[in-house]
């Protein structure tokens, strides 16, 4: 783990990207563009996977007794990631709902 601050920012970045994609998926579904909506949901999943991978690497180094400094920024990154995961799960439901309404 090179620079902890940058690593934390990567979690915020990918988590945040994931959330943005989810919200864009809902916006596309609202307009009736379900191809775009599903593409955005996939992009969201990819971004969140990346955020999660970084998160896992942090947890693993902690388990291996490599102490990681807890900062407010780190807590904030976790907050971003959890929120992004929730939004992604709900976005999928929204897209499904709009698709039903559209049918």
Partner 1 sequence: MNILLCCSAGMSTSLLVTKMEAAAKEHGLECKIWAVSADTVKAQIDQADVLLLGPQVRYLLPQMKSLANEKNIPVETINPVHYGTLNGLEVLNTAINLIKNH
* Smaller CB separation from partner 1, 72 or 103: 72
Site for partner 1 in 13-72 (CB under 8 A): 13-17, 19-21, 23-24, 27
Q: What is the dihedral of CA 14, 82, 48, 18, to 10 degrees?
A: -60
Quote the least distance from Cβ 100 to partner 1, whole Å.
23
Collapsed DSSP state (helix, strand, coil) of residue 103: coil
Other CB atoms within 10 A of residue 63 CB: 8
Instruction: Give me the residues that bind partner 1 (CB under 8 A), please.
Output: 5-6, 9-10, 12-17, 19-21, 23-24, 27, 73, 76-77, 80, 84
């Amino acid at each position: 783990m090179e620079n902890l601050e940058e690593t934390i920012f990567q979690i915020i970045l990918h988590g945040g990207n994931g959330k943005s994609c989810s919200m864009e998926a809902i916006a596309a579904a609202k307009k009736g563009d379900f191809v775009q909506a599903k593409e955005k949901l996939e992009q969201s999943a990819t971004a969140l996977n990346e955020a999660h991978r970084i998160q896992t690497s942090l947890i693993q180094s902690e388990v291996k007794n490599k102490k990681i400094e807890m900062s407010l920024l780190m807590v904030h990154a976790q907050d971003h990631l959890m929120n992004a995961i929730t939004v992604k799960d709900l976005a999928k439901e929204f897209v499904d709902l709009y698709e039903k309404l559209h049918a």
